[in-house]
Structure 1
Amino acid sequence: MQKSYDFGWLERQVDEHPYPIFFAVLSGAHMYGFPSGDSDYDVRGAHVLPLEDVVGLRARRDTVDVMHDLEGRELDVVTHDLKKFIELLLNKNAMVLEQVFSPHLIEGGDAFDELKEIAGDCITRHHAHHYLGFARSRWEGFEESRRLKALLYAYRGCFSGIHLMRTGEVETDLTTLAAKYNRPDLLDLIEAKQAGTEKMQLDPSSIDKHRDYVLELIERLEKEHEASELRETPEADAKERLHDLLVRVRLQAR
């Protein structure tokens, strides 16, 4: 699979991972379309534990979280063993679903392409619960901090959820979503965030306007969930296909 950018230094950090990487993507504000100049880098993905660690008595590292310092900015690399990642995917975890469909690929291959194809058959209407919780928590965070970043996260959760319920497509970039849903005012907020800092705050005079609209979007997402024609559970053969993929990858990694 072709990689989407040329951050060679980011690839080198992933290469230092203690286990073989199954796939890795750039997540966080970069995936959401509004990184500022001082944004940290969030790398997410899956690794493959050696077969000996899986069947033996050694302590398993199902999740690896490694923090790097890059000239004052953090690079947070979090990966799950492929089995755990697949289990999260089957349990309607929208965070791992978004990682599979992130446009910012650092590492991946043919087996990852296969995972991505199967992941499309794991999308259900119940992924709306993640987006509702995400939007509500980020709005609460904004009410406390007044930070533009928190507000954009709330909008992103609402529109990503609404778009998924309507179309079955995973879209995490708020710039793209703002254009799709005719919200040019959000583009102005995104530009302000990109030109500013992670901690910049919103003009207090516009808070009430955004409160009304975010709460309206949360209500709309609830209705989209109720009306969605997406499947209730993953496709019947998705689990078996993922099982076969996991076994092949595990045995090849010996």
Structure 2
Amino acid sequence: MIDALDIDLAPVVAEQPFPVLFATVSGAHLYGFPSRDSDVDLRGAHLLPAADLVGLREPEETRSRMWDRDGVEMDLVTHDLRKFVRLMLRRNGYVLEQLLSPLVVHTTEAHRELAGHAPGVLTAHHAHHYRGFAQTQWRLFERTGELKPLLYTFRVLLTGVHLMRTGEVQPHLPTLVEEVDAAPVYLPELVAAKAEREHGDAGVDHARVRADVERLHTVLDEAQAASVLPDAPTAYDALHDFVVRTRLER
């Protein structure tokens, strides 16, 4: 494993044809269960010139770059700011986790301002994002029996519960285990096992984990029903103004 905060993105950022507004570490490092051979997932936003968005050609709104660093695969994916903000407004918890990740490897004032708008896009309907993600990962676990999708299943369910209860986006599984009373007690053991291998059988009692996953779905449903989060984003106008201003200032 590598220290994600030691990543020097300056040469990669300098190579990009458009300004990179931010890049943070996502994936297993952010979730608190990287393996020795985990890739490093870098996610963020860039800024296209205004001319690219008003002409006839379709803009390249998503860019990606992969490279190897000391035997570790690095994967940088960024969206144009407008696309990134639209994803934020679509109840997409994944991009909010990227925006708010504490593992920051490149930042700007625009990044900090955008993060400040995050509370204004949170809704009770973000529970649907985490519920759907959990279902997808659980189906993968049932097909493969591997530990990775099982941990993802528990992680997203607990993130959803925590968000509905507190209004905070918390993707770090070890922290969620401590803060969410419904978390299964054996999760720290699974996290420790994941640190040793990226892939492999989970080695768990399938009936037990199935019961716990079903229980957490119920807990998420109850947390959503009781949540004080609004039904719709409140920051749409402010984000529109932010995107326009940021684009025109460059």
TM-score with structure 2 length normalisation? 0.92
1:125 match: secondary structure? coil
In structure 2, the CA distance between the partners of 1:103 and 1:227, relative to structure 1 (3 Å rule), is: same
* Equivalent residue number for residue 191 of structure 1: 192
Alignment of 1:15-34 (within 5 A): 15-34=14-33
Q: Give the Cα separation in 2 of the matches to 1:22 and 1:247.
A: 15
Q: Give the Cα separation in 2 of the matches to 1:63 and 1:223.
A: 36
Letter of the 1:40 partner, please give it.
Answer: D
Report the Cα offset of residue 92 of structure 1.
1.4
Q: Give the Cα separation in 2 of the matches to 1:157 and 1:8.
A: 26
After superposition, the CA RMSD in angstroms is 1.8
* Equivalent residue number for residue 239 of structure 1: 236
User: 4+ residue stretches of structure 1 with deviation over 4 A?
Assistant: none
Q: Is the 8 A contact 1:25 1:102 kept in 2?
A: yes
Deviations 1:98-146 (A, max 9, x none): 1111111111222211111111111000000000001111111111111
Identity %: 44
Q: Give the Cα separation in 1 of the matches to 2:14 and 2:189.
A: 37
Q: Give the Cα separation in 2 of the matches to 1:10 and 1:28.
A: 17
* Equivalent residue number for residue 115 of structure 2: 116
* Equivalent residue number for residue 176 of structure 2: 177
Deviations 1:3-43 (A, max 9, x none): x9642334543443332111111101111110001001111
In structure 2, the CA distance between the partners of 1:15 and 1:29, relative to structure 1 (3 Å rule), is: farther
In structure 2, the CA distance between the partners of 1:122 and 1:25, relative to structure 1 (3 Å rule), is: same
Alignment of 1:48-197 (within 5 A): 48-182=47-181, 183-194=184-195, 196-197=196-197
Q: Give the Cα separation in 2 of the matches to 1:110 and 1:250.
A: 13
1:150 match: secondary structure? helix
Deviations 1:200-234 (A, max 9, x none): 21115x22211110111112212222222210111
Report the Cα offset of residue 87 of structure 1.
1.1
Letter of the 1:199 partner, please give it.
Answer: H
Letter of the 2:186 partner, please give it.
Answer: D
Report the Cα offset of residue 60 of structure 1.
0.7
1:121 match: secondary structure? helix
Q: Is the 8 A contact 1:86 1:242 kept in 2?
A: yes
Deviations 1:167-198 (A, max 9, x none): 1000000010011125442111111111x111
Q: Is the 8 A contact 2:8 2:105 kept in 1?
A: no
Q: Give the Cα separation in 1 of the matches to 2:60 and 2:109.
A: 24
Letter of the 2:46 partner, please give it.
Answer: H
* Equivalent residue number for residue 222 of structure 1: 221
In structure 2, the CA distance between the partners of 1:11 and 1:187, relative to structure 1 (3 Å rule), is: farther
Q: Does residue 210 in structure 1 map to residue 231 in structure 2?
A: no
2:186 match: secondary structure? helix
Structure 2's unaligned 5+ residue stretches are: none
* Equivalent residue number for residue 251 of structure 1: 248
In structure 2, the CA distance between the partners of 1:9 and 1:110, relative to structure 1 (3 Å rule), is: closer
